[in-house]
Amino acid sequence: MTICNKAKKAPKRVVFADANNLKMLKAARFVVDQGIAKPILLGNRKLIESIQKENRLELSDIPIIDIFHDISERRRMRLAEVLYEKRKRKGMTQEEAVEKMYNYDYFGCVMVETGEADAFISGFSRKYADTIRPALHVIGTKEDFNHIAGMYILLTQKGPLFLADTTVNSDPDPQVIADTTVLVANEVKRFKIEPRIAVLSYSNFGAFKGKGSPVRAKEAVRILHENYPDLLVDGEMQANYALNGVLRNRKFPFCRLGDQDANVLICPNLSSGNILYKVLQELGTAKAIGPILLGMKKPIHVLQMESSVREIVNLVAIAVVDAQEAVEE
C-alpha cells in the first residue's frame, strides 16, 4: 500500500504554515481532492485570496487562519499559556510566549499540541533549523530517545532505500548514530519492510585505526549489537559493500547482513547524508520522498525550501499516516 493510499483511509487535519504560496495552495487543493488530508492554511488571508483568484484555485472548502487578524485575544492568550507552561523554566516570559503566537511555526505547533490539528508541516520558505526550533519548544522529542533525526526515502530501481541522517545532526557521536539507527529502523518497519542496516564510513570493519567517523561508526555498531541484538545492522562499511551483498559476503563473510543488500544507510555525519541524497536526486538515479522528521512526540514535518507540489503532497501524506498511528497508540 502506498503512503497516499494509507493516508486516504483516515484523512487528518494538517496545518500548512506557509500558505502564502502558490505551490502550497496547489498541494492543499490536491490533498483535499484526493481525500489524503484536511488542510488548515496559516497565512495572510488577503494574499491567499489574491493568489487563489489569480490562479483560479477553488479554496472555499479549506479553512484559512490569518493569525494577525482572525485570532481573538482570548484564544491567543490561551495558546500562549500552553507554550509558557512548557518554557517558563527555560527562559521564556509570558510576554514572549504571547509574542510567539504571532509566529506561524509556533502557532501551528501549539494547534497540534492542543488537539486543534493532528499534524503540522512547514519549512517551505524558511531554513530547516528555524522551523525545527519551535517544534522542539512546543512538541518536544519522544522520551525514549530525546533525539531527532531526518530521513529520506529514495525510490530506486532496486527498491526503496532509506537514508539518514540527512537534515539534523551535523557531527553525531556514537550514541547519536545508534539512536538515529533505531529511529530509522522503527520507521522502516512501519512500511512493512524489514530493515537491513549498514552504518557507513570510508573504511570497512576496523581497517582505519585513527580518529574520526570510522571510529564513531564502529562504536555505534557496538552499542547497537549490545542493546538491540535482534536488529539486523553492521558496519562500519563503505557504501559499495553496503549495497552489494554478494561482494560484501565474499570479502567480509562475518558481516551480520550476510549476502543481503542493505536497504537502510546510516551516514556518519550530516554532510555525507545530505550530499548523497541530493546527488542521487539531481542525477535522476532515485526519486526522493522527505525529509521525514523522526523522534518528535507528535507529527511535525519540515519541507525542503522551495519543494515541488508533489514533494509537499508526499510529506503531507506521511504526516497523516503519522497522525493515524498516533491515534492507534
- pLDDT tens, position by position, 89-134: 999 999 999 999 999 999 999 999 999 999 999 998 888 888 899 9
Identify the three-state secondary structure at position 165. Answer: coil
Residue 251: pLDDT over 90: yes
Q: What's the total number of domains in the chain?
A: 2
In this structure, what CATH number is given to the domain that contains residue 127?
3.40.50.10950
Q: Is 251 domain-assigned? A: yes
In this structure, what CATH number is given to the domain that contains residue 163?
3.40.50.10750
Cβ neighbours, 10 Å, residue 12: 21
* H helix or E strand, kind and range, residue 259: none
79 and 191 assigned to the same domain: no
306 and 266 assigned to the same domain: no
249 and 268 assigned to the same domain: yes
Report cis status (omega within 30 of 0) of the bond before 165: yes
Residue 234: pLDDT over 60: yes
Q: Tell me the CA distances in angstroms from 211 to 101, 137, 203, 206, 314, one per residue in order.
A: 46, 35, 12, 11, 39
122 and 199 assigned to the same domain: no
Q: What is the pLDDT of residues 123-166, one digit of tens each?
A: 988 888 888 999 999 999 988 877 899 999 998 888 999 999 98
User: Which pLDDT score, from 0 to 100, does residue 328 have?
Assistant: 64
Q: What is the pLDDT of residues 258-296, one digit of tens each?
A: 999 999 999 999 999 989 988 988 888 888 888 899 999
Residue 1: pLDDT over 60: no
66 and 179 assigned to the same domain: no
Q: How far is 156 from 44, CA to CA, in rounded Å? A: 39
Give the structural domain span for 301: 3-140+297-328
